[in-house]
Structure 1
Amino acid sequence: MDELQQLEDWLAPLLADMAPAARSRLARRIGTALRQHESKRIARQANPDGSPYVPRKVPLRARTGRIKRGVMFAKLRQARHLKVRANPNEVTVGFLGRVAHIARVHQEGRMDSVRPGGPRVRYEQRKLLGFSPHSRELIRDLLLDHFGDV
């Protein structure tokens, strides 16, 4: 039996005894911590396994206009785009709307247009969201802090 299963077996009766509002607060706290953790990881330009993102392609020739050289996904990782949804039974951290489409293209390495009406290219896979060993430890520590005196 792995560590996560043991934690789940220990938590199940404790969570069942909690009021729905208290479970929602706990879920929101966990979701907010995960969002901060994921945002920092995206800022480091790293996949959940610790490997670096594949860098942007270098332009074949110099072009007029702005060439993006900054950090990828700088705005995508902001709290206004990276949303937390919590209820008594679950918590989710993810993207919504147009931002979700952009994130999915990079998460799964899909084909998409560079700009509306522009050429379609296959984007490299860059995992924006995912569980790392550190995120599992973060969740475990938050739960142990909450239920530590039980």
Structure 2
Amino acid sequence: MMDELGALEKWAGGLLEQLSPPARRAAMLNVARELRRSQQARVASQRNPDASAYEPRKARAAKGGKNLRGKKGRIKRAAMFAKLRTARFLKVEADASGLAIGFAGRVARLARVHQFGEMERVAPGGPEYRYPARVLLGFTGADREMIRDRLLRHLTLASR
């Protein structure tokens, strides 16, 4: 992924240097907002950047060996990361030198555990579990095209 970012930065860097710092910041903010929308939609559809589906949650057994997720009407089968993908938690920063999209604060740890498939306690004092990698932030082919199109559109409007 770093090679892709480096290539994108090299391509866009030369073009963006021609703009004034306020115009660069506006272009970066425009791209960052659109990229956040794209990431939110992808996470809502429960897909990794390579279009593969997220690994489903592990069935949690209750006392007595019953499957909690199998009880109809008791436990909601909602999509994962519903709150995490909101603008409140998925932050955007942009200035004349670049942009950043990521999670801040306490939710950043939760996002990192799922992004990289790390070990974490299920509950405070509970057992540890290796979560499957579910890529929350990543570039798809459509994202790269969108970035290119947004930058080119901004550059053509700025040159007028």
**What's the TM-score, normalizing by structure 1?**
0.87
The aligned counterpart of 2:54 is 53
Matched residues in 2 for 1:94 and 1:123: separation? Answer: 20
Matched residues in 2 for 1:128 and 1:5: separation? Answer: 22
Where do residues 6-17 of structure 1 align in structure 2 (5 Å cutoff)?
A: 8-9=10-11, 11-17=12-18
CA offsets, 1:98-147, max 9 Å, x none? 11100000000000011112111110110000111111011011011112
Give how far 1:7 is off. Answer: 8.9
Partner amino acid for 1:142?
R
Partner amino acid for 1:31?
A
Identity within the alignment, %: 46
Query: Which residues of structure 2 form unaligned runs of 5+?
Result: 69-73
Task: Evaluate the alpha carbon distance shift between residue 113 and residue 67 of structure 1 in structure 2; reply closer, same or farther with a 3 A threshold.
Answer: farther
**What's the TM-score, normalizing by structure 2?**
0.82
Task: Evaluate the alpha carbon distance shift between residue 103 and residue 7 of structure 1 in structure 2; reply closer, same or farther with a 3 A threshold.
Answer: closer
What secondary structure, in the 3-state scheme, does the structure 1 residue paired with 2:93 have?
strand
The aligned counterpart of 1:79 is 87
The aligned counterpart of 2:103 is 95
Partner amino acid for 1:28?
L
The aligned counterpart of 2:125 is 117
CA offsets, 1:31-69, max 9 Å, x none? 000000000000000000100000001123245xx6452
Q: 1:106 aligns with which of 114, 132, 136?
A: 114
Where do residues 33-44 of structure 1 align in structure 2 (5 Å cutoff)?
A: 33-44=34-45
Task: Evaluate the alpha carbon distance shift between residue 58 and residue 7 of structure 1 in structure 2; reply closer, same or farther with a 3 A threshold.
Answer: closer
What RMSD in Å do the two structures reach over aligned CA positions?
A: 2.3
Task: Evaluate the alpha carbon distance shift between residue 72 and residue 62 of structure 1 in structure 2; reply closer, same or farther with a 3 A threshold.
Answer: same
The aligned counterpart of 1:141 is 149
Q: For this pair of structures, how many residues does the alignment match?
A: 146
Matched residues in 2 for 1:107 and 1:132: separation? Answer: 15
1:70 aligns with 2:71: no
Query: Which residues of structure 1 form unaligned runs of 5+?
Result: none
8 Å CA contact 2:93–2:100 kept in 1: the answer is yes
Partner amino acid for 1:20?
P
1:129 aligns with 2:137: yes
Give how far 1:14 is off. Answer: 3.6
Partner amino acid for 1:87?
D
Give how far 1:15 is off. Answer: 1.8
Task: Evaluate the alpha carbon distance shift between residue 115 and residue 44 of structure 1 in structure 2; reply closer, same or farther with a 3 A threshold.
Answer: same
